[in-house]
Amino acid sequence: MPASSPRVLWKGAISFGLVHIPVALYSATQDGSIDFDWLDKRSMDHVGYKRINKKTGKEIARENIVRGVEWEDGQYVVLTDKEIADAYPRTLQTIEIERFVPADGIPFIHLDRPYYTAPIQRGAKVYALLREALVRSGRIGVARVVIQTKEHLAALVPAGPGLVLNLLRWGADIRSWEGLPLPDADARKAGVNDRELKMAEQLIDDMSGEWNPEEYEDRFRDRIMALVERKAEAGQAQDVAKLEPQEQASSGAKILDLTELLQRSLRGGKGRAAAKGDDDEAADEGDEDDGNTRTKAAAGKRAAAKAPAKRAAAKSAPARKTAPRRKAA
């Protein structure tokens, strides 16, 4: 299958202190699994999913469908489209860094999905500055970002020439070890003796090596694609009408003087309230092109008030209750 060129998924800015770095977001992964589409064998048209009442087995009309969140066993709270839309986070088009933590401070179980970031407009110098500062300090940024009306926690990690935005799982989404039949944390109490431990360590040493992702392949995918290739070369490929993809429009960010904003941030830009007054002043300074990398202050979030009410098909917010997480109907 032909490789596709990188596509911009989101445009906005990395923000810390009073500094904004205009960036674009690109997917850092691709799904290599086999996607078996449903097709009508008579016409080779795509086949979608029906809305079926699970009790009666009958198809129901869209206007008769409401969305509810299970509150107690068998009890649901129904939410209107407006109530759900009002709960959506505002789209601020920023990767808002809230804290810098040690690079090894986030357990791998919290890592979810990586994205590449790349500077746009005149943000290359500030981008490089943040990347190098993170490398030298041994830290990564913990940030919030809204993508397609959904707020995510994320880690901004320097990696090679760029910065990777790795979405994180929320703490409430990580299950506890409690209840699992695990051996005692003390190896001796678990019945492990020194001889067995040394043998296990020797085996690990013998099998150790450098990580090389090219050595590992999806064997099921390779077998399926080899079969597909043989059948296609035998003339068994059929034409299917393509569905038109929809791209989401996004906004960019302007830039002002970097050095001045860094100095302001160090003087007292920790709180957002303190930052706002400086931002308004910075916005009036103009945008002279004197060769310095520039950035726009955090108060430029004025366009953020556009509520994404159109995305009524997104997931509803969880019920506010100190109880195990409930599934939505």
pLDDT of residue 274: 43
Mean pLDDT, residues 242-256 = 53
Nearest-angstrom CA–CA distance, 202 and 277: 62
- Which pLDDT value is given to residue 204? 85
Distance CA(294)–CA(259), nearest Å, equals 9
Q: Which pLDDT band, with edges at 50, 70 and 90, does 40 fall under?
A: low
Element (H, E) at 72: strand 67-72
Binned at pLDDT 50, 70 and 90, residue 297 comes out as very low
Which pLDDT belongs to residue 312? 38
Chain-centroid distance, C-alpha 84: 21
Contact at 8 Å (CB) between 17 and 116? Answer: no
What dihedral angle (degrees, nearest 10) is formed by the CA atoms of 290, 293, 296, 298? Answer: -150
Identify which has the larger pLDDT, 267 or 289.
267
The whole-angstrom separation of Cα 294 and Cα 315 is 38
Closest CA to 13 of 133, 156, 153: 156
Which range (26-35, 83-92, 181-190, 206-215) has the least confidence?
26-35
Number of C-beta neighbours around residue 278 at 10 A: 21
> What pTM was estimated for this model as a whole?
0.58
Q: 111 near 128, Cβ under 8 Å?
A: no
Judged on CB neighbours under 10 Å (0-12, 13-18, 19+), 260 is: middle
pLDDT at 30 over 90: no
- With tokens 């601020």, the residue in question is 92
SS3 label, residue 274: helix
Task: Outline where DSSP puts E strands in 134-271.
Answer: 139-147, 150-159, 162-168
- Residue 218 to residue 273: CA distance in whole angstroms: 51
pLDDT of residue 158: 96
**What is the distance between the alpha carbons of residues 281 and 227, in angstroms, rounded to a whole number?**
64
Give 321's pLDDT tier (boundaries 50, 70, 90). Answer: very low
